[in-house]
C-alpha cells in the first residue's frame, strides 16, 4: 500500500516552479537530475512548460497513470488539491507544505480537514510539513534538498525535515550510502510505525535509523520494532528529552515528547539501540551494516601513537568493554617482527615510523588471536606515506576475517582518498579513536539482545484469575503478592494495644510495629516505625510512642501492623507504574528511606524474562550493592529476579492497577520478602 511513496511509476508535482528560490523548483529539479525512471508531470496553471516538461493546469487534468503526487503550495490551498487527487483516483500524496498543526489552532483545523478528505477517498498522506522521500535504488528523490546520497544500505526515518536535509548534505560529502530516506513531518496519516515496517522490509536496507520526537502509538510501536529488531539493527535518536526540548517538540511537529524514562525502557525492550547524538547514530549504523558482530567484549587496539591509544583504551573501559589479553604466541610473534621499541602488549604500538606493511602484519596477528573479538586500528597523521596506502591493506586484511575492525585514520585534509577506499570496502572510520568504543558497545548490545531473545524462556505464573481479581478489588496487596509467589514476613494488622500484644506473642519476637494511616506515605517521616521489639514491654512502649508521634502531627492512627522482624538484608524498591504510551512498566532500585535521596532506579517494559530482570538489577547502584556490601553477604539474586518477573506479569494481568509499590523489598542472603506494600487502582476501576 505504501510502496508508491518510494517506487511510484509516475509522479506529479503540484506547485512546480521555474523560480530556483521556490520549493516546487527544487522537487522538480531533483526528480529530473537524479533520473526518476517514470513520467514526471508538473502542475502549474500559470505555465505551459517547465524544464522541458509539459505543464498541467490542475490535478484533474493529469493522466490517469499518476500514482504519487507531491504538493508544494501554501497551506490554505492544500485541502482543495487533496480533494482533486481523490476524485482523480490518486491514492498517495506527499504534502511538503507547512503551516499546519505546528503553527497553532488554525493549522490544526486545516489538518483535520485533510484527514477528513483523505478518509473519504482512501488517500495515504506523508506530511504535511515534511521534506519528502528518497530511494537511491529506484531511484527517486521527491525532496527539494540539494544533493542525493550514494546507493547504500542504511534507511533513515525522520520527523524533522531539517534533519533529513542535514543528513543528505553530510552523506553526500562523507560518501556514506543510504537506501531509503523519509521525512514524516506532522504525521497526520502515515506514521513512524508504518515506515519502520516498510523500510524494515526493504531488501536493500540492512540497518534502520530514525530521529523521533514522539511515538504515535506506543504499544503498536513495541510490536513492530520488536519484529524489526529480530531481522535488522534499529538505531534511534530521540529528540525532546529535556523539559525545554519537549516543549520545543510541540511547536516543531506537534508530537508529544512523552516520558524519557519510558522511551528508554521501550527501546531496550524491543532491542533498539538508542543513540545520544546524530554522529553516534550513523557511526553505529555504518558499523552494523558493514561489519560482523563481535563474539565477545575483548578489544585489541593497534596504533602508531601512544596518546591516541590511551584515549581509545579509556573509552573502551568506560563503555563496559575490556582490553583483550593477547596470547603468549601473539606477543612473541609481534616482538620478533615489529620495531625494537614497539609495544607488543595491548594496545600494540607499532610507533610513528611504521608503514602499511607493519600495520598489515600486526593486524593479521591480532585478528588471528582467539582472545581478540574486535580490533581498533589508529593511525595518527605522518608525512612519509599516504593514508590511502594504509586503507588499502587494512581493508584487505580485515576482509579475510569475521571480526569487526573499526578504523581511526585521524585527520581531515589528507584522508579523503583513504575514506573512499574504506567505505567502498565497508570499513567504518572515525576521525578520533574514542568514538570506536561507542560503536563496539552498540554492536555488543545488539549481539546480547539477539542472544537474549534466543535463550529466553517465558515464565507465566499460574494464578487463579477470580481469586486475584477479588484481591485487587479489595486492595489486599499482601495477599495478592502471595498469589504471585512473593512472600511477606508473617504479619497482622490490629487496632488495639491488647490485640497487638496477642499477635506479637503468636508471631514470635522479635517483631516490628508500623503505623497504618491513609494520610501517611513514608512512616519514618512521622516516626511511625519501631523495630527490634523483643518482649511485651517493648511492644507497649512502641505503641505509646507511635500513638504520641501520630497525635503530635495530627495524623490519625488507623491501626498498626505487627510484623516478624527479619535478619539483616538489603532494602530495594520494586514498583509497577503505567505509561500512557507504552503501558505497564516495572521499576527497581535503591529502596527504604533512601529511595528519594539517591533516585537510584531503572525501569523496564513488562513482562520480563530472567535476562531482562538481571539487566534491570545490574543497571542500578542497588544491583552492585547486592553482590556484597560492607558486612552483608551477597544477596539471593535468583529469588529477586523471580520477584521482578512475577511483578511484571502481575502488571500485565491487572491493568486496573494504576500503581503498586513494594518498599522496601527486603533481600537477604537467602530469601526475598515484601515488607511494605502500597497500591492504587485506576479511576475507571476504583
Nearest Cα residue to 128 out of 141, 140, 115: 115
Do residues 616 and 588 lie in contact, with contact meaning Cβ atoms separated by under 8 Å? yes
Residues of the chain with CATH 3.30.470.20: 570-681
Looking at 90-94, 211-215, 333-337, 633-637, which range is the least confident one? 211-215
Nearest Cα residue to 42 out of 34, 63, 82, 74: 63
pLDDT beyond 90 at 259:
no
Residue owning grid cell 518477573: 645
Q: Average pLDDT in the 205-214 region? A: 93
Dig out the grid coordinates for 107 from the structure.
493549522
Residue owning grid cell 494511616: 517
Q: What is the structure's pLDDT at 682?
A: 87
- Alpha carbons 616 and 612: distance in angstroms, whole number: 6
pLDDT beyond 50 at 256:
no
Residue owning grid cell 611504521: 354
- Alpha carbons 291 and 442: distance in angstroms, whole number: 12
Segments in 122-217 forming alpha helices (H): 161-174, 192-200
Single pTM value for the model: 0.88
Do residues 417 and 423 lie in contact, with contact meaning Cβ atoms separated by under 8 Å? no
Q: What is the structure's pLDDT at 241?
A: 58
119-145 as b/e: b if 16+ CB within 10 A: eebebbbbbbbbbbbbbbbbbbbbbbb
Residues of the chain with CATH 3.30.1490.20: 490-564
DSSP state of 296: S
Do residues 668 and 626 lie in contact, with contact meaning Cβ atoms separated by under 8 Å? no
Dig out the grid coordinates for 57 from the structure.
493546469
Nearest Cα residue to 578 out of 661, 664, 473: 661
Do residues 82 and 48 lie in contact, with contact meaning Cβ atoms separated by under 8 Å? no
Q: Average pLDDT in the 551-574 region? A: 89
- Alpha carbons 248 and 242: distance in angstroms, whole number: 10
Q: What is the CATH number of domain 490-564?
A: 3.30.1490.20
Q: Average pLDDT in the 133-151 region? A: 95
Q: Give the CATH number of domain 3-286; options: 3.10.129.10, 3.10.180.10, 3.40.605.10, 3.40.50.261.
A: 3.40.50.261
Q: How many residues does the chain have?
A: 686
Query: At what angle are helices 260-270 and 218-231 packed, to 10 degrees?
Result: 40
Q: What is the structure's pLDDT at 216?
A: 80
pLDDT beyond 80 at 47:
yes
Q: What is the structure's pLDDT at 386?
A: 87
Cβ neighbours of 88 (radius 10 Å) = 19
Q: What is the CATH number of domain 570-681?
A: 3.30.470.20
- Alpha carbons 453 and 612: distance in angstroms, whole number: 10
- Percent pLDDT > 90 in the chain is 78
Q: What is the CATH number of domain 296-412+423-434?
A: 3.40.50.261
pLDDT beyond 90 at 629:
no
Preceding amide of 664 cis, omega within 30: yes
Dig out the grid coordinates for 305 from the structure.
601513537
Residues of the chain with CATH 3.40.50.261: 3-286, 296-412+423-434
Amino acid at each position: 500500500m505504501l510502496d508508491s511513496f518510494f517506487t511510484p511509476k509516475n509522479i506529479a508535482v503540484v506547485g512546480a516552479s521555474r523560480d530556483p528560490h521556490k520549493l516546487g523548483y527544487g522537487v522538480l529539479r531533483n526528480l529530473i537530475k537524479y533520473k526518476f525512471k517514470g513520467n514526471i508531470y508538473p502542475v502549474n496553471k500559470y505555465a505551459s512548460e517547465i524544464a522541458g516538461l509539459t505543464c498541467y493546469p490542475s490535478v484533474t487534468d493529469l493522466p490517469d497513470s499518476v500514482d504519487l503526487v507531491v504538493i508544494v503550495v501554501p497551506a490554505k490551498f492544500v485541502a482543495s488539491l487533496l480533494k482533486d487527487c481523490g476524485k482523480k483516483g490518486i491514492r498517495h500524496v506527499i504534502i511538503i507544505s507547512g503551516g499546519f498543526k505546528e503553527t497553532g489552532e488554525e493549522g490544526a483545523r486545516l489538518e483535520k480537514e485533510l484527514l477528513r478528505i483523505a478518509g473519504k477517498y482512501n488517500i495515504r498522506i506523508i506530511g504535511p510539513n515534511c521534506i519528502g522521500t528518497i530511494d537511491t535504488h529506484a531511484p527517486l528523490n521527491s525532496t527539494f534538498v540539494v544533493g542525493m546520497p550514494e546507493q547504500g544500505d542504511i534507511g533513515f526515518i525522520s520527523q524533522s525535515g531539517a534533519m533529513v536535509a542535514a543528513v543528505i548534505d553530510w552523506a553526500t560529502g562523507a560518501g556514506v550510502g543510504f537506501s531509503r530516506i523519509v521525512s514524516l513531518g506532522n504525521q497526520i496519516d502515515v506514521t513512524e510505525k508504518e515506515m519502520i515496517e516498510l523500510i524494515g522490509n526493504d531488501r536493500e536496507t540492512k540497518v534502520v535509523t530514525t530521529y523521533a520526537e514522539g511515538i504515535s502509538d506506543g504499544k503498536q510501536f513495541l510490536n513492530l520494532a520488536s519484529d524489526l529488531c529480530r531481522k535488522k539493527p534499529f538505531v534511534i535518536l530521540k529528540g525532546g528529552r529535556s523539559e525545554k526540548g519537549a516543549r520545543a517538540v510541540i511547536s516543531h511537529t506537534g508530537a508529544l515528547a512523552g516520558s524519557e524514562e519510558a522511551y528508554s525502557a521501550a527501546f531496550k525492550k524491543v532491542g533498539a539501540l538508542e543513540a545520544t547524538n546524530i554522529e553516534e547514530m550513523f557511526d553505529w549504523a555504518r558499523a552494523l551494516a558493514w561489519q560482523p558482530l563481535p563474539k565477545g567484549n575483548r578489544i585489541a587496539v593497534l596504533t602508531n601513537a601512544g596518546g591516541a591509544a590511551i584515549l581509545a583504551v579509556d573509552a573502551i573501559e568506560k563503555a563496559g568493554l575490556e582490553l583483550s589479553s593477547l596470547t603468549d604466541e601473539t606477543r612473541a610473534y609481534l616482538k620478533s617482527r615489529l620495531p625494537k621499541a614497539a609495544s607488543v602488549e595491548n594496545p600494540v604500538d607499532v610507533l610513528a615510523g611504521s608503514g602499511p606493511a607493519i600495520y598489515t602484519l600486526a593486524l593479521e596477528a591480532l585478528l588471528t588471536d582467539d582472545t581478540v573479538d574486535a580490533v581498533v586500528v589508529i593511525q595518527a597523521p605522518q608525512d612519509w606515506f599516504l593514508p590511502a596506502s594504509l586503507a588499502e591493506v587494512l581493508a584487505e586484511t580485515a576482509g579475510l576475517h569475521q571480526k569487526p575492525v573499526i578504523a581511526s585514520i585521524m585527520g581531515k585534509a589528507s584522508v579523503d582518498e583513504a575514506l573512499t577506499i574504506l567505505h567502498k570496502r565497508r570499513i567504518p572510520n572515525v576521525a578520533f579513536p574514542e568514538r570506536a568504543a561507542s560503536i563496539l558497545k552498540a554492536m555488543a548490545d545488539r549481539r546480547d539482545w539477539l542472544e537474549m531473545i534466543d535463550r529466553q524462556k517465558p515464565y507465566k505464573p499460574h494464578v487463579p484469575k477470580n481469586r486475584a481479581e477479588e484481591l485487587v478489588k479489595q486492595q489486599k496487596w499482601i495477599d495478592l503478592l502471595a498469589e504471585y509467589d512473593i512472600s511477606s514476613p508473617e504479619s497482622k494488622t490490629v487496632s488495639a494495644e491488647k490485640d497487638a500484644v496477642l499477635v506479637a506473642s503468636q508471631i514470635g519476637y522479635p517483631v516490628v510495629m508500623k503505623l497504618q494511616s491513609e494520610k501517611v506515605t513514608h512512616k519514618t517521616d512521622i516516626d511511625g516505625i519501631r523495630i527490634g521489639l523483643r518482649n511485651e514491654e517493648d511492644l507497649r512502649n512502641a505503641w505509646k510512642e507511635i500513638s504520641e508521634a501520630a497525635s503530635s502531627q495530627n495524623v490519625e492512627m488507623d491501626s498498626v501492623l505487627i510484623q516478624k522482624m527479619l535478619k539483616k538484608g538489603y532494602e530495594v524498591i520494586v514498583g509497577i507504574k503505567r505509561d500512557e504510551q507504552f503501558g505497564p512498566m516495572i521499576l527497581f532500585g535503591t529502596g527504604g528511606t533512601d529511595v528519594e535521596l539517591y533516585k537510584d532506579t531503572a525501569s523496564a517494559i513488562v513482562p520480563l524474562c530472567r535476562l531482562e530482570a538481571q539487566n534491570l538489577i545490574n543497571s542500578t547502584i542497588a544491583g552492585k550493592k547486592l553482590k556484597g556490601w560492607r558486612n552483608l553477604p551477597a544477596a539471593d539474586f535468583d529469588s529477586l529476579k523471580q520477584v521482578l518477573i512475577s511483578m511484571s506479569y502481575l502488571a500485565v494481568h491487572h491493568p486496573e492497577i494504576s500503581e503498586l509499590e513494594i518498599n522496601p523489598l527486603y533481600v537477604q542472603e537467602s530469601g526475598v520478602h515484601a515488607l511494605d506494600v502500597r497500591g492504587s487502582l485506576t479511576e475507571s476501576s476504583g
